[in-house]
Structure formats: structure tokens, C-alpha cells
Amino acid sequence: MPREEPAGKENHEPRAARLKAKPGYRPEVQGLRALAVLMVVTYHVWLGRVSGGVDIFLLISAFLLTLSFVRKVEKGTPLRLVNHWLHLFKRLIPAAVVVILGVLAGTWLVLPQSRWPDVLNEAWASLLYGQNWLLANTAVDYYAQDHSGASPLQHFWSLSIQGQVFILWPLVFAGSALVWRLVQRRRAVSYRTVLMVAFGGIFIASLVFSIDQTATNQAYAYFDTRTRLWEFALGSLLALVLPYVKPGKVLRVVLGWAGLAAMISCGLLLTVDRSFPGFVALWPTLAAAAIIVAGQSGSRFGVDRILSSKPLVALGDNSYALYLWHWPVLVLALAGSGISAPNLFQGLVIVACSVVLAVLTTRFVEKPLREWHWPQLRAWRTAVVIVACGALLAGPVALWQTKLTADEAAAAAQPRELTPGAAALAPENAGKPTPEATVIPAPAAMKNEWADIDGLCTGDNVPSDPLLNGCLQNSKPAKVTKRVVVLGDSHAQQYMAALGPIARDHGWEVVTLLKGNCRFGAESPERDADCNAFNKASAAYVMEHKPDAVFTVASLTHKEAPFETEVPAYLEGIKPFTDAGIDVVGVRDNPRFTINMPECVQKYGTDAPECNPPLGESLAAKSPLDAYRGKVKGLYLMDMSDFICAGGICPAVVGNVYVYKDDNHLTKTYVQSMIPMFEKRLLAATGWK
């Protein structure tokens, strides 16, 4: 992770000698940094969990930054913020650019094309220190056990937060210095006191905000800079009070070992998943603070004897580059080998490769630029280095994105007869070969393959129950001939790509009440409490608004046997509707797979057996819908599976169109190709006009 060293006149002595000569140099802090990065690497590679090591990095970076700026102000040295920022980012950006370029090369060699656009977007975000906000807005699951599908640049979130704080904190130091000089005219107040008030306020406000946001929106809070500021503030407060905290030798030994034990055990003893960065993050940060307070114990039994050892200090010198490299090496290795988690030997190889790359990056990139002798106009030349590094990355990224955009446009512009999609399975086309063409949608467009719903519910359609705040609807027709409510999860939403256009043609108003992974049915122990509550609220909405019809998915597919079953308590859930004279449409579910289907095609080809699993491993031999027939009057059943699976297989591509956007969701493009058949069967099943 980034090291903070004071900016100013360049010193050209060997770095080791220079640091040892510093009266304030603390080798145990460098060893603590090394131990923290080892925790991060170990937990990522073998345990797939959050260790608390990143939180320790954040505290250490603020601790060292504060020591540096307080020394400057108390000595009367000008802060020269612009020079400080240039000096800092001159050290950080080159190594980051080298790693990102390496990731781009690995992405081109290893990752499927559908993942390229996201990696390129994250390359920009990582370069500009905005990766954390990008991940927050896309709700990335940082706790996912399977890292093979993760972004190789995902770990830049913490570096982005640090970069933002490295810009913000000097402004706090400068502002506090100004306040201090103004206050000094009236009363004797130390600069440290002013800073303690400032950072104390930041600590309290950020921690309270972090606890609240972690409890209500943890996936976003994890990457939110505001929920992490208290960790930096704690490091700054530690630096400010440390001169006044002087524990005895015995207490230093106890503090050091207690802090080390708490630090290492954090991820093992605490259930940190879904709890960070709230109050639980006090555990690793206070543990690190205890080690820093212990400092040089003066005892041969002190933990500082270990942390100050040459191997750990040397690893601390390479900690920034090791953090940069370990995650992309892990992700690309898993993606290339097709495994979801490494064993002991595989993990050791990944760690060894990461260490080698880290040492090379530190030795030949970070260190030369840090120690380069700059002649006059140093600030200007430093800025040139930063801009040049940015341009070195920006050029390839921009060219690559331009190429992907052109490929996407060319694929979309193909004549429709070359990409018939589901129409290729229609009886009139049975046995006819599909012409050669580029499969659509282009990989770069796959992220746009969710079915469109026009917007939030308006007017009388707005639910009164806050559980249904996500209510969406298509634009209301000028003359409404039928009102339809869609209930269920994302598998109901995907059919909006067909139901939506059909509704517009027939003058139907369509409202959707959808919750991820929550198939509609009556209350059942097979659903979690949130899903049962949502379904209950959805049913109440239907009974209150009395639409003409309700659309649902009436079977439930699985990745393993049994591959398809009835929806739990489905008939019990819809019977109140039909009893009230409301039609219910139940469509058969589509298959789920253990692999990402479009990525399979991009890796192995359209005709590969892996991408064309047997029908018997995708759907039940006898449709679960048959069990519903004749049991509830007003229930109309639809089966579109013959336009998804055919000839005994469930292919990833039909009629030059990707059937799936991932391992279980139909693409919008493919569902749109089903519209004529879908409309015909819907009207035939219901008798609607």
C-alpha cells in the first residue's frame, strides 16, 4: 500500500541509510505494514474473506502523513501543498500504471470478451482514483467466495480512497494551521489541539455515518469514502497523542502482543462479512494502534523485535507493489485455469509470482522515480512524469474502447435475417441452417441486456407499502384496455422484453413488483423472511388495485438436480387473485447453469459441448406446470421452452443470438426475437384479444 514520506528537497542517499538516520524512523511500523499486506494476501488467496488488513493500511497511511505535516507546521516549514501532491502521486501513479497495463494484457489473453468493457472502465477509474465509487454504484460483492469471476482491478478501491484522502488531509492540515494562527492571537492553543478537534469531529461523524450505512446498505458503504474517513482520522489522532502516551516497558510488551493477536485473529474470530466498515472495523484498527503505541519496547520479548526484523521491513518496502499485484495475479490465474479457489500449492505459486512482480516493480519503477535527481523546475518535471504515465495508460484504453464500440455497432447493424434468434426454432424454419453472421449482442453490449421497464410507478399505481417502493411501470397507453401486474423476480422481469412491446400494441398498462431471487407464491419456509414479506405486500397490492391480470413465472429451475420443480406455495399464492376474478398467467421458467453461457461461447466456441448442455440437465422431463392444470380456474399456463431448448439440448446461441446474458438470465435481444411466438401463445392461452 502507498507509503507516506515527507515531500521536499530530494535526498540522494540510499533509502535504507536515510531512513535509519531519521530520528523518527520506526521500523516496527514498516513491519506492521508488511504483516498487514500478508494478511490481505493470505485471506484473499486461501480464505476468500476480509482480513482487516486494508483498514490497518488506512490507519498507518494517515498516521505517517500526520507526523510529516505536524513536523512541518511546528518547525515553520511552508507546506507547499501542490509540491506535496505532485511528489506523492509521482511515487504512486507509475507503479499503478504498470500494474494496470499488465492487467489489460492479462485481460486480453485470459478473460472472455464480455468482461473487457468493465475492465476498461475500471482502468480509467483506477487511474483517476475513483474505483471505489464505480464499485459502489455497481453493487460489487467484495465478499464473494469465487474470485475467478471478479474484476482484476477491483482491489484498487482502497487505493482510490487513499488517493482521495491524500488530497483532502493536507487541506485539513493547512486549514487547521490557519485557524491555529488566528486563535493564537487571543489564547495560547497548540497546533496539535486544533488538529485534534478537527480530526475528532471527522472521526465521530464518519464512524456514526459508517455504522448507519453499514447496517442499511453495506454493499455500498463498503466502498464509500465517507464511511472510511474515521479510520484515517483514528490514525491522525494516534499520531497527535502519541508523544504524550508513554507506557512502561512491561505495558509496551503487553500492548504489542495483544495488538498483534487481535490483528491476526480479526478475520478468524469475527464474522466480518457484511459488517465492515462499521464499528467492527475498530477491532483491527485499534489492534494496530496498540502495536504503534507499544513502539520500541526495549525488551527482547517485545513484538517490535519481530516487526523490526529485516525480512518484514524489506517486505514493508515492497508492500505497495505487492498489494497492487496480488489480486490481479489471483483473479487471472483462477480465470485462466478454470478453478474457483486455489489449493495450498496453487496459492503458494500465486503468492510467489506476486512477490516477484512486486519486487521488480519496486526496484525498477517505484524506487528509481522516487530517488531520481530532479534539476530545476522540479515541480514542472514531476507533473510531466505524472501526465506521461497517465497518457501511457490512457492511449491503449481509449483505442481498445473505440474498437469495442465499433465492433458493437457493426454487429448491431447486421441484417435481421442473419440474426433470427428464437425464430430459427419456429416450425416453419425447422431444419433450415442459420446463415453465418456475428453473434449478437456484441460482448461489449451484454451489460445492456436487461429488459427495459420505462420508470417508477406513478399516480394510482404508486404502492402505499414501503416494501414495494421499487414498483416500476411501462408508459401508460392513451387508452387502457387491460391492466397487468407482473410479480416475482428477475426471471419475470426478463419477459418484459416481450410483454412490454406486446402490451403497447394492445393498449395494456403493465406494472411490475419485482424482488431479486424472490419467486412469487404464498408464504413458505423455503423462502427467507424478506421474500415472504415482499410477496405478502405484492399480493395485498394486487387485491387492492384489482388489475385484469397477473403475470408470473410458475416453475423454478435449479443448477443441480432436480433441475426444475414447482414454485413453493404457488397455487396458494395465486388463488386469492383468481377467486377475485383476476386472470393469472404462469410461464415456465428457463434453465439455470453452473457456467456463464456467453463466456463459455467466447472461450470454447458456439458448438462446444460445454455450451450446449443436455435438456435433461436443464429442465424437468415432465413440466411442473402440468401439476397445476385444472386445479385453479383462471390460471393460464404458457411454455416457451421449445424456443429456448431444442433437439435435446439447451444451447447458448440460437439463430446467431446469445440466449443468455449470464448463467441463468435470458438476454433482452433473445426475448425480443421471441415476441411473435410469445404473443401468439399468450393470446391463445388466455383468450385475450
Cα 130 to Cα 123: distance, rounded to the nearest angstrom: 10
**pLDDT one-digit tens code per residue, 398-445:** 999 999 999 999 999 999 999 999 999 998 887 788 889 999 999 989
**In the predicted model, is pLDDT for residue 10 greater than 60?**
no
Per-residue pLDDT, 210: 96
Going by pLDDT thresholds of 50, 70 and 90, the confidence category of residue 381 is confident
**What residues have CB less than 8 Å from 346, skipping those under 6 apart?**
333, 337, 339
Is 314 exposed, middle or buried, given 0-12, 13-18 or 19+ CB atoms closer than 10 A? middle
In three state form, how does the secondary structure of 295-328 look?
Answer: CCCCCCCCCHHHHCCHHHHHHHHCHHHHHHHHHH
**In the predicted model, is pLDDT for residue 530 greater than 90?**
yes
Contacts 24+ apart (CB under 8 A), 219-222: 219/136, 219/139, 219/140, 219/141, 220/136, 220/137, 220/139, 221/277, 221/278, 222/136, 222/142, 222/276, 222/277
**In the predicted model, is pLDDT for residue 303 greater than 50?**
yes
Angle at 33 between CA 32 and CA 39, to 5 degrees: 90
**In the predicted model, is pLDDT for residue 23 greater than 80?**
no
456 half-sphere exposure, CB direction, 13 A CA radius? 7
Per-residue pLDDT, 145: 52
Going by pLDDT thresholds of 50, 70 and 90, the confidence category of residue 138 is confident
For 194, left (φ over 0), alpha (ψ -120 to 50), or beta? alpha
The residue-averaged pLDDT of 79-94 equals 93
- How far from each other are the two terminal CA atoms of the chain, in whole angstroms? 65
**In the predicted model, is pLDDT for residue 144 greater than 80?**
no
Contact 276, 222 (CB under 8 A): yes
> In sequence order, what are the beta bridge partners of 657?
440, 654
- Give the residue with greater pLDDT, 192 vs 4: 192
What rounded mean pLDDT belongs to the chain?
91
**pLDDT one-digit tens code per residue, 346-370:** 999 999 999 999 999 999 999 887 7
C-alpha closest to that of 500 among 531, 533, 473: 473
Number of Cβ within 10 Å of residue 435's Cβ equals 13
The residue-averaged pLDDT of 477-506 equals 96
Cα 260 to Cα 35: distance, rounded to the nearest angstrom: 9
**pLDDT one-digit tens code per residue, 599-657:** 999 999 999 999 999 999 999 999 999 999 999 999 999 999 999 999 899 999 999 99
The residue-averaged pLDDT of 315-319 equals 94
Cα 207 to Cα 226: distance, rounded to the nearest angstrom: 9
Per-residue pLDDT, 6: 42
**In the predicted model, is pLDDT for residue 320 greater than 80?**
yes
Per-residue pLDDT, 16: 45
**pLDDT one-digit tens code per residue, 197-225:** 999 999 999 999 999 999 988 889 999 99
H or E element in which residue 486 lies = strand 482-488
Per-residue pLDDT, 267: 74
Per-residue pLDDT, 141: 54
Contact 125, 160 (CB under 8 A): yes
Per-residue pLDDT, 338: 86
> In sequence order, what are the beta bridge partners of 553?
587
**In the predicted model, is pLDDT for residue 13 greater than 50?**
no
**In the predicted model, is pLDDT for residue 17 greater than 80?**
no
